[in-house]
C-alpha cells in the first residue's frame, strides 16, 4: 500500500507543476477574486518553491493587493536567482521600490527590465514617468520617443514626449512634434488644447484664439420665421 501513497503524492506534485494549474489559479483573478488567486498561486509555489513563474505571480499579486512587501521581495529574490535575465523580475522589483518610496532605485530596476526586453511597453512607460518625476527630462524623452516610434497612435505618450522636450527648453522642437501630431489627429481635443497652450505661452494669441474656436461646437442654424400668406 505504501507504493500507492507514494505514487499518489508524486502524481499530485506533477499535477501542481502543470502550467494549467497556474492558469486556473490566475483565472480566479480574472473573475475578480485576486485574494483567492494569490492563495492558489501560493499552493502551486509550495509544491515547486524554486520555480520562477509562481514566485513572480505571487509577488505581483501581493503588490496588487497591498500585501507584505518583504514577502514580495523574497519571492522576487528567488525568481531572480533562477532567472536573472527575466524582465518581469526587474519590472516587479521596480514596482516594489516605488511602493517603498525609492523612485531612483525603481528607475534602475525598470532600466534592467527594458534592457532585457526592449519592447516591454509597460516597463518603459512607467520608467519614462519616473525619470520625469525625478526631473531627468532627457532620459524621459529617450523612453517616450522609443514608445512614440513603436506606437505612434498612442497620443498620451506623444503628449508626454512633447512635454519632456519643452521642459528642456526646446520649444521649437516641441512645436514641430505637436504640429506633426495634429496633422495625424486633426480633431483630437487634447492635441488642439496643448497647441493652444503652446501658442499662448509663446505670445501668439491670435493663433491660439483661432485654434480654440475650432473646439467650440458649431452654432445651431437660425430658424426662419414662417412667411405670412400674401394678400395678393
Higher pLDDT, 139 or 186: 139
pLDDT exceeds 60 at position 20? no
pLDDT at residue 142, rounded to an integer: 97
Average pLDDT over residues 22-44: 90
- Look at 10 and 136; give whichever has higher pLDDT: 136
CB atoms within 10 A of CB 92: 27
In the chain, how long is the greatest CA-to-CA distance? Answer: 117
More confident residue, 222 or 99: 99
Q: Flag whether pLDDT at 7 surpasses 50.
A: no
Alpha carbons 207 and 194: distance in angstroms, whole number? 13
Each residue of 129-144: pLDDT tens digit?
999 999 999 999 999 9
pLDDT score for 140 = 98
The position carrying cell 488644447 is 193
Task: Give the three-state DSSP class for 18.
Answer: coil
Amino acid at each position: 500500500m505504501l507504493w500507492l501513497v507514494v505514487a499518489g503524492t508524486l502524481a499530485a506534485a506533477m499535477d501542481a507543476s502543470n502550467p494549467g494549474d497556474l492558469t486556473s489559479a490566475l483565472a480566479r483573478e480574472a473573475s475578480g477574486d485576486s485574494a483567492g488567486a494569490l492563495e492558489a498561486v501560493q499552493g502551486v509555489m509550495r509544491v515547486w518553491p524554486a520555480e520562477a513563474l509562481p514566485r513572480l505571480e505571487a509577488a505581483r499579486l501581493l503588490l496588487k493587493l497591498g500585501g507584505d512587501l518583504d514577502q514580495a521581495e523574497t519571492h522576487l529574490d528567488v525568481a531572480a536567482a533562477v532567472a536573472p535575465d527575466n524582465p518581469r523580475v526587474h519590472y516587479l522589483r521596480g514596482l516594489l521600490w516605488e511602493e517603498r518610496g525609492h523612485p531612483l532605485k525603481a528607475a534602475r530596476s525598470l532600466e534592467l527590465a527594458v534592457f532585457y526586453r526592449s519592447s516591454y511597453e509597460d516597463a518603459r512607460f512607467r520608467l519614462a514617468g519616473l525619470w520625469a518625476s525625478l526631473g531627468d527630462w532627457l532620459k524621459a524623452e529617450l523612453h517616450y520617443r522609443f514608445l512614440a516610434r513603436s506606437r505612434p497612435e498612442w497620443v498620451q505618450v506623444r503628449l508626454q514626449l512633447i512635454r519632456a522636450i519643452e521642459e528642456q527648453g526646446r520649444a521649437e522642437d516641441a512645436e514641430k512634434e505637436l504640429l506633426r501630431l495634429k496633422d495625424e489627429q486633426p480633431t483630437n481635443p487634447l492635441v488642439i488644447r496643448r497647441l493652444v497652450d503652446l501658442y499662448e505661452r509663446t505670445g501668439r494669441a491670435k493663433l491660439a484664439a483661432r485654434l480654440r474656436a475650432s473646439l467650440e461646437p458649431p452654432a445651431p442654424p437660425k430658424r426662419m420665421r414662417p412667411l405670412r400668406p400674401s394678400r395678393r
